[in-house]
């Protein structure tokens, strides 16, 4: 048992993060930079797969000396709306992700990479809590326009990992807890968690909630319609503007919180105003989600990369601490959360689910 390890893999657009974990914690962690390599020049997810597999295998094989590999866990990618949990990697899951059925993102490689390595070592391959985890209550789906629904797209992997940690800290079963959680990173998720389920959240990618270091958040509709109809933007241009070049970056030219706080400390009044507006919007969203739980909240959890900033946490605390006690879990913790899910599956602590594509249901 002591030498059993899980390999966690998180593919990104310009890098692949991977780590070897034992039950006690990380043994090896690496981030493979693909900048200025052939991989970055290949736009097809399918065509990137053999190159990524090869470089990952060359990197992690030396790590296995003295270890027994028991599972491979990949980032889930963008799949159909599903319940949270650990999923076996099967043909349906690989087909939907590698062929980008629902959206194109490098994380779609996670399932196929995990399967490719797992097959060589004769161990199971899993994914854990993809961003499309959807456990909304019916009221949360209604958008106000009959032609479309609100969607659940969130930092579900880290959100659910933090829920497990906080429930354990409180000495409670997850089924007996209620949390409001704010994951603060390049994108921001604010979610209501009722007995371990994400019953409502903002759309962390686009169109809902507070603006973030890079994303626009909820916007007034009239100027958006005018911008879309102006002829100055293609769909792709506008989509990129709202998801990559808005928020702090749009106003201040950078989404790096360290630079922004330095500018504030140096007397930059614009940086101070835009920063305070983001904190204001995050706090307002946390308050809104407190109402979905009728104020019955065990903790408000602050997590994500920005939770490393004492200023961010303290400025939020001033606005929300009247709602409930606050716990802070800094970092995105993606590799740790993937590995933990792998061990829960291997140890039989969590039911392993089977993914079925919409075509096979």
| Same-domain status, 102 and 187 | no
Instruction: Tell me the mean pLDDT in the region 70-91.
Output: 95
Residue 148 lies in a domain: no
| Same-domain status, 27 and 77 | yes
Residue 361 lies in a domain: no
Instruction: Tell me the mean pLDDT in the region 135-141.
Output: 97
Determine the pLDDT at residue 34.
85
User: Considering Cα of 54, then 57, then 58, then 60, what sign does the dihedral take?
Assistant: positive
| Same-domain status, 339 and 248 | no
> How far apart, in whole angstroms, are the C-alpha atoms of residue 132 and residue 88?
16
pLDDT tens figures, 94-109: 999 999 999 888 899 9
Residue 43 lies in a domain: yes
Within its chain, how far is the Cα of 144 from the centroid? 26
304 and 332 Cβ atoms separated by less than 8 Å: yes
| Same-domain status, 37 and 108 | yes
| Same-domain status, 186 and 325 | yes
Residue 146 lies in a domain: no
Residue 144 lies in a domain: no
Q: Which of 359, 347, 341 is nearest to 110 (CA)?
A: 341
pLDDT tens figures, 223-248: 999 999 999 999 999 999 999 999 99
In b/e form, how buried is each residue of 202-212, taking b as 16+ CB within 10 angstroms? bbbbbbbbbbb
CB atoms closer than 10 angstroms to residue 1: 8
Q: Would you say residue 40 has pLDDT above 80? A: no
> How far apart, in whole angstroms, are the C-alpha atoms of residue 72 and residue 5?
9
Q: Would you say residue 361 has pLDDT above 70? A: no
| Same-domain status, 109 and 210 | no
> How far apart, in whole angstroms, are the C-alpha atoms of residue 17 and residue 29?
8
pLDDT tens figures, 293-326: 999 999 999 999 999 999 999 999 999 999 999 9
pLDDT tens figures, 159-183: 999 999 999 999 999 999 999 999 9
Determine the pLDDT at residue 39.
79
Residue 42: pLDDT band (50, 70, 90) is: confident
CATH of the domain at 54: 3.30.420.40
340: helix, strand or coil: helix
Residue 145 lies in a domain: no
Neighbour-count burial of 36, counting CB atoms closer than 10 A to its CB (0-12 exposed, 13-18 middle, 19+ buried): exposed
User: Considering Cα of 291, then 293, then 296, then 299, what sign does the dihedral take?
Assistant: negative
Neighbour-count burial of 337, counting CB atoms closer than 10 A to its CB (0-12 exposed, 13-18 middle, 19+ buried): buried
| Same-domain status, 345 and 209 | no
Residue 143 lies in a domain: no
| Same-domain status, 261 and 232 | yes
129 and 163 Cβ atoms separated by less than 8 Å: no
Domain that holds residue 11: 4-135+335-353
If you search the block for the tokens 């097809």, which residue do you land on?
44
| Same-domain status, 298 and 341 | no
CB atoms closer than 10 angstroms to residue 22: 16
Give residues with Cβ within 8 angstroms of 160, minimum separation 6: 84, 129, 133, 196, 198, 337
| Same-domain status, 57 and 97 | yes
Longest C-alpha distance within the chain, in Å? 62
| Same-domain status, 188 and 277 | yes
The chain-wide mean pLDDT, for the chain, equals 94
In b/e form, how buried is each residue of 103-126, taking b as 16+ CB within 10 angstroms? eebbbbbbbbbbbbbbeeeebbbb
If you search the block for the tokens 């797209």, which residue do you land on?
153
CB atoms closer than 10 angstroms to residue 31: 14
Q: Would you say residue 279 has pLDDT above 70? A: yes
Q: Provide the number of structural domains found in the chain.
A: 2
| Same-domain status, 192 and 242 | yes
Residue 359 lies in a domain: no
């Amino acid at each position: 048992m002591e030498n059993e390890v899980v390999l966690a893999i998180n593919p990104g657009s310009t890098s692949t993060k991977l780590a070897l974990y034992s039950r006690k914690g990380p043994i090896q962690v690496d981030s493979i930079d693909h900048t200025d390599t052939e991989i970055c020049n290949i736009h097809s997810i399918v065509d990137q797969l053999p190159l990524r597999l090869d470089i990952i295998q060359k990197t992690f094989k030396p790590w296995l000396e003295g270890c027994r590999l028991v599972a491979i866990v990949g980032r889930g990618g963008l799949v159909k709306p599903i319940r949270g949990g650990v999923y076996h990697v099967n043909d349906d899951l690989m087909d939907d992700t590698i062929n980008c059925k629902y959206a194109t993102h490098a994380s779609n490689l996670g399932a196929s990479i995990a399967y490719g390595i797992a097959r060589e070592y004769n161990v199971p391959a899993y994914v854990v809590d993809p961003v499309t985890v959807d456990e909304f209550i019916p009221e949360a789906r209604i958008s106000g326009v009959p032609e479309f629904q609100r969607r659940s797209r969130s930092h579900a992997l880290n959100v659910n990992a933090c829920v497990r940690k906080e429930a354990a800290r409180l000495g409670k079963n997850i089924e007996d807890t209620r949390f409001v959680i704010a994951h603060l990173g390049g994108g921001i998720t604010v979610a209501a968690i009722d007995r371990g389920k994400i019953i409502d959240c903002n759309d962390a990618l686009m169109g809902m909630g507070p603006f973030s270091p890079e994303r626009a958040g909820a916007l007034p509709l009239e100027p958006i319609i005018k911008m879309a109809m102006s002829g100055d933007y293609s769909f792709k241009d506008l989509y990129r503007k709202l998801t990559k070049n808005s928020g702090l970056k749009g106003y201040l030219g950078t989404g790096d919180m360290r630079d922004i706080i330095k500018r504030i400390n140096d007397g930059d009044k614009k940086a101070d105003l835009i920063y305070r507006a983001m904190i204001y919007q995050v706090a307002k969203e946390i308050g809104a989600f407190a109402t979905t739980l009728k104020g019955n909240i065990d903790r408000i959890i602050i997590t994500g990369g920005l939770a490393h900033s004492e200023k961010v946490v303290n400025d939020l605390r001033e606005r929300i601490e009247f709602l409930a006690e606050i716990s802070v879990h800094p970092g995105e913790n993606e590799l740790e959360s993937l590995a933990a899910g792998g061990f829960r599956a291997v140890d039989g602590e969590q039911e392993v689910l089977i993914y079925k594509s919409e075509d096979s249901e």
